[in-house]
């Protein structure tokens, strides 16, 4: 069981230390001074010697000790410095300050309301407190402890006792409030902010179970008028009315309850009562028991803390540390005698924790006598046997940030800023792209989580650091016309509560979020800078990764996405995926998406919707949408049941080859409406949504997904408003997806403010860059090509055409679009056959045109015609050059024949498959053959098409499976340092070299997908082969086959090891020992073959007989054998 025992001293310190009102948390910093962070995990008196300061890098020779300061949570604390009077730090000088471990004081700012926090004794995030050591530069003195040296006890009577305080805080489990004010039973609204009854508490206790705990009242003064006083904090753990009795006794609970309380659901119940002295045993032990007896079947609760106060003697019993709580003395001075005092005891008055006082006592053998002034009110003293030394001092550089100069904020972690290949810092590379013209010319700012913790939360671990940082940045308005700021969190956030005490918390919870599991990035900025409550003030996205390589991979996808022309037709394609666990749900969810479809089809996007819906009531139904996704969709919307790893209409993982996704360059936004798909905060590595985001060269460009328990009503409301904002509002049509999420949240909560709708908005987590624009279309873009033109019917004197016109741009429902046919005459003039007006085209429509042609009399002159959309340029388009298609017209006995270009292509079609060959270290490999630990794997893709020459790796994917039972194929990054390639030449022979390094022993599998530029694949399936690695050096026996031989024999042997041993030679001798032939050739790891044709060194055939050979490798290994020549 996890318990925390604290003296009441440090509780009071925590309660008083941050009494001031703060906003940003950086108000106390003087950016001209030098600071050192001192992490503290246990309470005590801390001493830093001059040697300690020098070891930390502080220039002790130039620092005047009177200028030294220590800060805690932005407040300067009074400290004690021995030897500062000479204005220099001598070898014997030292600094002392009072330190405490972290508590939950700052956590209160995460609760709604703030007083809902059950108690302040335990932090939700870390035990580590932070103190900052610095020195003034203005010549003024830092705060110092007063030294009290009163020793005259004349007229004073020794105090008979003090009031001891013992606090036991239980932190076994975390309580999550699942009530929302409705009748029981009811589903959980699952608010992500902290609320009543949430926090760390003791183990869950069941109804009727009697749970006891024994306390020792050491040094109890039985004759004192004050009785032992006990306070308990209870925490409800289910949605029922709680009734709890408290019993006390010497060794067992009494028969009648000493106190009882009633509290509701997940609220807390606080009891405070005196304990009858008769309930304390002769050995000063007290047994306290609790038992619930509520009216419902379950009445689960837990104990969060016990606080016991009792009169106690002044015996120190040679303790290393003790807190004394003096009672008021009307004389204003109290005389105290401390017995059994440690030899080198230090005494402090900590009544005011910001201005502690150092006390002086007179020692009389083992007794300490002291006078404490100002005791008209209670005073709190600390007696300690010695001092502690901080584990380290960390130089901290505070960065002076101008909030008016940055509009794109990147928060990341040092572990993601390590070099990858030739990129020194992937995070700064990402910010650099966003600062470039191609990336939007944003004014970027990169900060680490560590920097924010130090600068905006006093060095303590809490997501408030990000919130205060955001609040600070919102105080400055950029000089540009667009004052919106965006924030990208690069790094995983892990809100799963065991992470708090994990040894590697710092490297697994990189960028904090708010909440338990699930978490909410929206809460990091909601309600700031005048924005409505629960609406994010800064559009925020997250790259959920622990790997800097994945940062670069995602950056490449972003660059590719933003390079893609906005008029690519696939950017108006939308895929709807509808789930459900019953006939009713399948029908209902499909209806919700159909309603959203109508919004998407109307102006201003005019999207084309493809729907895939569940056909059964099975919990999970597999659906193949790879063909649709690979062709390109801009948005994938799911509505159904789900979890972090699967949806009930299961379309699979982008990274797994078995699902067939190859949508490089065509990355959609995925919008998930279901439970938990966006729950990326529980530490798992198999999250479905993150897989789609971070898989290189395929998958999604961004994810907007629900992180917790989703309910169809709020999800439907959110979906309809999201579509209305994204597709149908001209003010937001071209806006970034982060702004779309922000505005959707604002509109939903302006009309629906219930707990479910608020929770639903909080749980919408945006993964990916918030400045990405899904539909950056400003104007229509009409186009026509030969594959969409056909003759309609047959008339001898006229031509009737059907023309498929595509609008890859903006759709204006009231527009009229003209279609005309014109004929080019011999003199270059154009003959018009008129313009036919048509209704506006949303995405793609078939228009019809009929005319009676007048053919040219010269048979050698082609009768060339043009079909033109918007022939008079009445509509401003984003691209005007794709509105015309040229065709020829031929007259025959039965009428006219239209001759169109070949499928709209510039070149003849390519329908032949390319040839793929793969070698290992220069030779083709047999399955499961042995290779070196650093094999050079060469892929050669030969295509016969002389026009479409391969210039990149699009259409080529390489996967490697490592040797473990649970290992799956991992994609090889073709832009990584292990891969080399260059564009093919005129022969269209493309060569790619892949050389993995330092492979461990075991059986590997290689899988290669390859296609030519036209998309023709090299074979019906992937190339796949297994190969073995054995790093231990070995040499097999040399086998001669055939043996005996007549014309030639093969000398076969196998070599293993991490790398090739170099050259080998085989020496062949006759029975007299005469050397007749030496065979030399390079030796590779794996199987080697050496051929001998039975001739000597000069090529002369040798006589029949027995010959002895010896294989010698350059590293000294050798093997011998015999072979018979029999012609």
Q: Rounded to two decimals, what is the model's pTM? A: 0.78
Residue 186: predicted pLDDT = 40
Residue 379: predicted pLDDT = 97
> CA-CA-CA-CA torsion for 902, 906, 911, 914, nearest 10 degrees?
180
Residue 1114: predicted pLDDT = 87
CATH T-level assignment (fold) for domain 915-1029 = Immunoglobulin-like (2.60.40)
Residue 909: predicted pLDDT = 57
User: For 1034-1125, CATH number?
Assistant: 2.60.40.4070
Residue 787: predicted pLDDT = 83
Fold match between domain 915-1029 and domain 1034-1125: yes
Q: Is 1121 left (phi over 0), alpha (psi -120 to 50) or beta?
A: beta
For domain 567-767, the CATH architecture is 3-Layer(aba) Sandwich (3.40)
- Residue 357 tokens read as 């006082």
Give 211-250 as a DSSP string: EEEEEE-TTB-TTSSSPPEEEEEEEE-SSSEEEEEEEEES
**Residue 481 φ/ψ, nearest 5 degrees:** -65, -35
What are the residue ranges spanned by the domains of the chain?
Answer: 1-152+317-398, 162-312, 412-540, 567-767, 782-894, 915-1029, 1034-1125
Residue 9: predicted pLDDT = 36
Residue 907: predicted pLDDT = 42
Low-confidence ranges of the chain (pLDDT < 70): 1-21, 179-190, 254, 478-482, 517, 683-684, 794, 859-861, 903-909, 946-947
Other C-beta atoms lying within 10 Å of the C-beta of residue 827:
5
- In 3D space, the residue among 1067, 1077, 1069 whose CA is nearest the CA of residue 1100 turns out to be 1077
Across all residues in the chain, what is the average pLDDT?
A: 91
CATH T-level assignment (fold) for domain 782-894 = Immunoglobulin-like (2.60.40)
Residue 181: predicted pLDDT = 46
- Cα–Cα distances (Å) from 384 to 72, 346, 369, 392, 581, in that order, read 21, 5, 15, 22, 65
Give the separation between CA 304 and CA 121, rounded to whole angstroms: 10
CATH superfamily name and code, 162-312: Galactose-binding domain-like (2.60.120.260)
Assess whether the previous peptide bond of 208 is cis (omega < 30° from 0).
Answer: no
The label of the residue with tokens 């667009």 reads 482
Residue 5: predicted pLDDT = 39
Residue 17: predicted pLDDT = 43
In eight-state DSSP terms, residue 421 is: T
């Amino acid at each position: 069981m996890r318990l925390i025992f604290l003296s009441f001293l440090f509780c009071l310190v925590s309660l008083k230390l941050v009494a001031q009102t703060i906003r940003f948390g950086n108000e106390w910093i003087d950016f001209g001074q030098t600071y050192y962070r001192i992490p503290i995990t246990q309470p005590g008196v801390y001493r830093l010697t001059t040697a300690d300061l020098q070891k930390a890098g502080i220039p002790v020779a130039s620092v005047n000790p009177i200028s030294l300061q220590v800060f805690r949570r932005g407040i300067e604390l009074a400290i004690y410095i021995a030897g500062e009077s000479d204005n220099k730090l001598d070898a014997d000088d030292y600094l002392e300050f009072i330190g405490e471990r972290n508590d939950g004081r700052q956590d209160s700012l995460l609760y709604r309301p703030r007083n809902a926090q059950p108690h302040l004794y335990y932090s939700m995030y870390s035990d580590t407190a932070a103190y900052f050591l610095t020195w003034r530069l203005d010549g003024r003195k830092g705060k110092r402890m007063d030294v009290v040296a009163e020793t005259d006890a004349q007229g004073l009577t020794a105090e008979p006792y003090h009031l001891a305080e013992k606090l036991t805080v239980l932190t076994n489990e975390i309580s999550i409030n699942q009530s929302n004010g409705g009748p029981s039973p009811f589903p959980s609204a699952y608010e992500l902010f902290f609320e009543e009854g949430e926090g760390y508490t003791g183990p869950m206790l069941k109804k009727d179970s009697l749970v006891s705990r024994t306390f020792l009242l050491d040094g109890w003064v039985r004759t004192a008028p004050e009785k032992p006083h006990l306070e308990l904090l209870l925490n409800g753990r289910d949605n029922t009315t709680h009734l709890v009795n408290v019993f006390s006794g010497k060794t067992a609970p009494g028969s009648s309850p000493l106190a009882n309380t009633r509290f509701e659901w997940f609220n807390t119940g606080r009891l405070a009562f005196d304990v009858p002295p008769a309930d304390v045993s002769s050995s000063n032990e007290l047994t306290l028991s609790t038992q619930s007896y509520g009216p419902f079947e379950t009445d689960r609760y837990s104990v969060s803390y016990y606080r016991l106060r009792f009169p106690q003697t002044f015996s120190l019993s040679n303790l290393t540390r003790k807190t004394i709580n003096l009672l008021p003395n009307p004389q204003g001075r109290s005389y105290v005698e401390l017995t059994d005092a440690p030899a080198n005891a230090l005494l402090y008055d900590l009544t005011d924790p910001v201005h502690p006082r150092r006390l002086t006592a007179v020692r009389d053998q083992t007794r300490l006598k002291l006078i404490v002034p100002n005791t008209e009110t209670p005073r709190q003293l600390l007696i300690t046997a010695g001092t502690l030394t901080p584990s380290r001092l960390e130089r901290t550089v505070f960065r002076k940030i101008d909030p008016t100069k940055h509009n794109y904020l990147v928060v990341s972690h040092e572990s993601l800023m390590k070099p990858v290949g030739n990129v020194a810092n992937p995070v700064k590379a990402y910010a650099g792209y966003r600062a470039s013209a191609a990336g939007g010319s944003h004014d970027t700012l990169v900060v680490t989580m560590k920097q924010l913790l130090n600068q905006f939360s006093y060095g303590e671990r809490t997501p408030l650091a990000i919130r205060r940082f955001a609040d600070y940045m919102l105080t400055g308005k950029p000089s540009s016309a667009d004052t919106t700021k965006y924030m990208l969190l690069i790094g995983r956030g892990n809100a799963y509560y065991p992470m708090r005490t994990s040894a590697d918390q710092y490297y697994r919870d990189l960028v904090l979020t708010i909440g338990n599991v699930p978490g909410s990035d929206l809460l990091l900025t909601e309600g700031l800078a005048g924005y409505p409550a629960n609406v994010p003030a800064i559009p925020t996205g997250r790259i959920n990764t622990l790997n800097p390589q994945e940062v670069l991979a995602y950056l490449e996808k972003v660059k590719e996405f933003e390079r893609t022309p906005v008029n690519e037709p696939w950017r108006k394609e939308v895929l709807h995926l509808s789930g459900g666990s019953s006939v009713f749900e399948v029908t209902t969810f499909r209806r919700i998406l159909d309603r959203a479809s109508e919004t998407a089809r109307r102006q201003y996007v005019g999207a084309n919707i493809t729907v895939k819906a569940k056909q059964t009531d099975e919990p999970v139904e597999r659906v193949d949408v790879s063909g649709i996704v690979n062709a390109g969709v801009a948005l994938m919307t799911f509505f159904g049941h789900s979890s972090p790893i699967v949806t009930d209409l299961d379309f699979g993982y982008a990274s797994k080859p078995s699902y067939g996704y190859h949508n490089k360059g065509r990355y959609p936004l995925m919008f998930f409406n279901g439970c938990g798909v966006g729950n990326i905060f529980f530490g798992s590595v198999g999250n479905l949504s993150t897989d789609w985001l971070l898989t290189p060269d395929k998958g999604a460009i961004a994810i907007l997904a629900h992180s917790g328990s989703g309910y169809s009503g709020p999800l439907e409301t959110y979906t309809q408003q999201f579509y209305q904002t994204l597709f149908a509002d001209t003010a937001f049509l071209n806006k970034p997806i982060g702004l779309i999420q922000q505005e959707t949240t604002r509109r939903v909560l302006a009309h629906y403010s219930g707990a479910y709708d608020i929770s639903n908005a909080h749980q919408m987590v945006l993964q990916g860059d918030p400045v990405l624009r899904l539909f950056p279309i400003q104007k229509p873009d009409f186009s026509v090509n030969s594959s969409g033109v056909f003759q309609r019917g047959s008339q001898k004197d006229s031509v009737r055409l059907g023309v498929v016109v595509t609008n890859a741009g903006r759709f204006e429902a009231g527009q009229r679009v003209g279609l005309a046919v014109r004929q080019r005459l011999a003199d270059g003039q154009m003959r018009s056959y008129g313009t036919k007006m048509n209704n506006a085209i949303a995405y793609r429509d078939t228009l019809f045109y009929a005319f009676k042609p007048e053919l040219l009399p010269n048979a050698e002159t082609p009768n060339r015609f043009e079909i033109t959309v918007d022939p008079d340029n009445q509509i401003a388009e984003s691209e005007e050059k794709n509105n015309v298609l040229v065709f020829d017209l031929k007259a025959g006995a039965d009428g006219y024949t239209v001759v169109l270009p070949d499928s709209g292509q510039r070149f003849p079609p390519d329908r032949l498959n390319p040839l793929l060959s793969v070698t290992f270290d220069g030779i083709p490999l047999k399955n499961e053959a042995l290779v070196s630990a650093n094999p050079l794997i060469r892929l050669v893709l030969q295509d016969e098409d002389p026009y479409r020459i391969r210039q990149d790796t699009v259409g080529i994917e390489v996967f490697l499976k490592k040797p473990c039972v649970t290992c799956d194929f991992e994609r090889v990054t073709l832009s990584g340092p292990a891969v080399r390639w260059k564009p093919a030449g005129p022969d269209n022979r493309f060569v790619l070299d892949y050389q993995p390094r330092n492979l461990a022993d075991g059986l590997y599998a290689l899988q290669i997908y390859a296609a030519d530029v036209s998309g023709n694949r090299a074979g019906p399936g992937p190339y796949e082969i297994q190969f073995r690695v054995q790093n231990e050096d070995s040499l097999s026996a040399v086998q001669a086959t055939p043996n005996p031989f007549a014309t030639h024999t093969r000398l076969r042997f196998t070599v293993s090891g991490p790398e090739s041993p170099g050259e080998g030679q085989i020496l062949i001798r006759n029975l007299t020992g005469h050397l007749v032939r030496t065979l030399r050739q390079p030796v590779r790891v794996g199987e080697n073959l050496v051929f001998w044709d039975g001739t000597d060194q000069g090529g002369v055939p040798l006589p029949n007989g027995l010959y002895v050979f010896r294989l010698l490798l350059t590293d000294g290994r050798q093997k011998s054998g015999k072979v018979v020549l029999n012609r």
